[in-house]
Amino acid sequence: MVIDRFAFDCEPLSPVIGLEVRGLQLDRPLDAITLADLKAAFHRHHVLVIRDQALSPAQQIAFAEQMGEPDIYPFAAGIDGFPVITPVVKERDQTRNFGGTWHSDTTYLKRPPAATMLLAQEVPPVGGDTLFASQAAAYEALSNGMKALLARLRAVNSSAKANFVRTSMSDDPETQAFDAVHPVVRTHPETGAKALYVNPGHTVHFEGMTEAESAPILDFLFEHQKQEIFTCRVRWGPGTLVIWDNRASLHLPLNDYHGHRREMHRITLKGDVPV
């Protein structure tokens, strides 16, 4: 087992994904050594959990800018004065939650986000956890025969399949639907590691195949990639900040807190074209 030695205290959330980071205050810029270690931890563990962060919108954006380049979410307006921060809210009387299926964020874009950062503003007293699954570990667990088959496949991803919350922005016909074709197995631009890059929230079929022809393999992959051995679970509290790598993980926000309000502030970081 690899022992992490970083410029901060930390504890893995599972053997393959997730790291809780302790002792950092993100309301001020991180020094170069700490930032380099935080990025190394991010690439190794895919998901970082940093608790007790009382950040203003400007401070959240400043931290995001240290980790990458913030981007605009195409389907929802940002909070007043901060267009890169999208409020993710489930009200007490709502029964559906935002993105309530296993997915990697917006894989229907030509350049999907490299990472997503979520800062908890209000959470239910119990429930509302998020599950994460390592797609690097899921890929490595496949047989050599399946890896060889998937290596040549590309998949069509569509926002029409996604469970997104429509806002006033989505009244524009130009923002109604996005489609993108990406490799089924992508290579991480920072680490060189391979990871599965399909998900049940957005992936429709393989390029050059029908949905019916694609379904047997996709259905297998959708079940395979969310196995418990690839996952960790994050429990939220006010001020919990989580940043995850969309290039190497899936996530599932659990919808088990009806009657309670939950509000998160979300920033995505620009990514590259998957290869």
Residues annotated as part of the active site: 103, 105, 251, 266
d(CA 156, CA 130) in angstroms, rounded, equals 26
Quick one: 104 exposed, middle or buried, by C-beta within 10 A (0-12, 13-18, 19+)? Answer: buried
Report how far residue 85's alpha carbon sits from residue 151's, in angstroms, rounded to the nearest whole number.
36
Task: Report the candidate in 184, 218, 191, 155 with the shortest Cα–Cα distance to residue 46.
Answer: 191
Q: What are phi and psi of 112, to 5 degrees?
A: -65, 160
* Three-class SS of the chain: CCCCCCCCEEEECCCCCCEEEECCCCCCCCCHHHHHHHHHHHHHHCEEEECCCCCCHHHHHHHHHHHCCEECCCCCCCECCECCCEEEEECCCCCCCCCCCCECCCCCCCCCCCEEEEEEEECCCCCCCEEEEEHHHHHHCCCHHHHHHHHCCEEEEECCCCCCCCCHHHHCHHHCCCEEEEECEEECCCCCCEEECCCCCCEEEECCCCHHHHHHHHHHHHHHCCCHHHEEEECCCCCCEEEEECCCEEEEECCCCCCCCEEEEEEEECCCCCC
